[in-house]
Amino acid sequence: MKLTIVQFAPVFGDVDANLERISGFAEDLAGGIAVLPELCTTGYAFEGREEVAAFAEKIPGGRSCEILGGLAREGGLHIVAGIPERDGTHLYNSSVLISPTGETAVYRKAHLFLEEKSWFDPGDTGFTVHRVGEARVGMLICFDWIYPEAARVLALRGAQLICHPANLVLPYCQDAMKTRAIENRVFIATVNRTGREERGGPWYEFTGRSQVVNPKGEVLIRLGEDEDRAETVEVDLAQALDKKMTERNQLLSDRRPDLYGEITAVK
Ligand code: ACM
């Protein structure tokens, strides 16, 4: 399957310009699946919940889904992209998966980062897995990376590829995702943005270095810190079905959940 990552710097608040920018990658969006950054239609540094409310869209039904759906249809591919979502009075930092025939699935970010705790409601979708052709695909968003439980649940539910839109500011994730990929034997596409945003509150410097890692933890492609571009890699997602680590070790069925109680206990 073709797996395309699209790294760029959205302009804060200019949804039209950002959708136009994304549409400008159309030639790179053909077949397979493409992953774009977190909040890629709006930018990141909101001044408060009211401002998020002004930009949040219905999924499906909003303008961003319409434009992304058009790209998916024309390119014959699935697209994963981060957009702010409105559902009644709730606001979520969400990632949408859009198929070439217009079906949508949504993941709402479970682990909110820093000021996001004031801007959004915590996600309530859980970690779901969706069919993309023959493969099974799950989504995480940015800071979810630091909770290994999230990727593990996706692996236990059969995800072969984790699509991971991000707006990373800490320096650890790209290396940590090699471990997430090894410990779950999955592919992970972490797609970050570039640039800097400062709008009166805290400033954010985004770290780029979007990447695709295979189940052996090998980095198949990694973009630069400041590069705004798309890159495609051919991946054999069937490799993620093989959970045999040695002749006597099966990654998932050898787990000892009887010893892991604290991990799911509510504190
Ligand atoms: C982040 O979760 N956007 C750092």
User: Residue 75 is part of a domain; what is its CATH number?
Assistant: 3.60.110.10
Q: 247 C-alpha vs ligand 1 centroid, how far in Å?
A: 39
Q: Compute the average pLDDT of residues 171-198.
A: 98
pLDDT for 143: 98
Q: 231 C-alpha vs ligand 1 centroid, how far in Å?
A: 22
Using a 6 Å CB cutoff, which residues line ligand 1? 38, 113, 142-143, 167-169
- Ligand 1, atom 2: closest residue by C-alpha: 143
Query: pLDDT (tens digit, 9 = 90+) per residue, 151-182?
Result: 999 999 999 999 999 999 999 999 999 999 99
Give per-residue burial for 126-160: e unless 16+ CB within 10 Å, then b.
ebbbbebeebbbbbbbbbbbeeeebbbbbbeebbb
Report whether pLDDT(200) > 90: no
Report whether pLDDT(267) > 90: no
- Ligand 1, atom 4: closest residue by C-alpha: 168
38 catalytic per annotation = yes
Can you list the alpha helix ranges (DSSP code H) found in the chain?
A: 15-23, 49-55, 63-75, 116-119, 148-156, 173-184, 261-264
Q: 249 C-alpha vs ligand 1 centroid, how far in Å?
A: 35
109 catalytic per annotation = yes
pLDDT for 259: 98
Report whether pLDDT(65) > 90: yes
pLDDT for 15: 98
Relative to beta strand 135-139, strand 161-165 is parallel
Count of domains for the chain = 1
C-alpha to C-alpha distances, 48 to 13, 108, 236, nearest whole angstrom: 13, 19, 42
Check: CB of residue 217 under 8 Å from CB of residue 11. no
pLDDT for 244: 98
Query: pLDDT (tens digit, 9 = 90+) per residue, 219-257?
Result: 999 999 999 999 999 999 999 999 999 999 999 999 999
Mutate to test the pocket of ligand 1, among 40, 164, 167 (most ligand atoms within 8 A of CB): 167
Q: Compute the average pLDDT of residues 59-73.
A: 98
Range of the domain at 199: 2-264
pLDDT for 155: 98
* Nearest atom within ligand 1 for CA of residue 44: 3
Mutate to test the pocket of ligand 1, among 44, 107, 109, 113 (most ligand atoms within 8 A of CB): 113
Question: Considering the entire predicted model, what is its pTM?
Answer: 0.98
pLDDT for 81: 98
* Nearest atom within ligand 1 for CA of residue 166: 3
Q: Compute the average pLDDT of residues 88-93.
A: 98
Averaged pLDDT score across all residues of the chain:
98
> For residues 112 and 62, what is the distance between their CA atoms, to the nearest angstrom?
23
The residue annotated as part of the active site, out of 40, 65, 142, 173, is 142
Q: Which of 71-80, 110-119, 140-149, 194-203 has the lowest mean pLDDT?
A: 194-203
Q: 169 C-alpha vs ligand 1 centroid, how far in Å?
A: 7
pLDDT for 201: 84
Q: 207 C-alpha vs ligand 1 centroid, how far in Å?
A: 11
Q: Compute the average pLDDT of residues 43-68.
A: 98
Q: 142 C-alpha vs ligand 1 centroid, how far in Å?
A: 5
The share of the chain scoring above pLDDT 70, in percent, equals 100
The residue annotated as part of the active site, out of 40, 65, 85, 109, is 109
* Nearest atom within ligand 1 for CA of residue 112: 2
Q: Which two tokens stand for residue 104?
A: 């949508």
- Ligand 1, atom 3: closest residue by C-alpha: 167
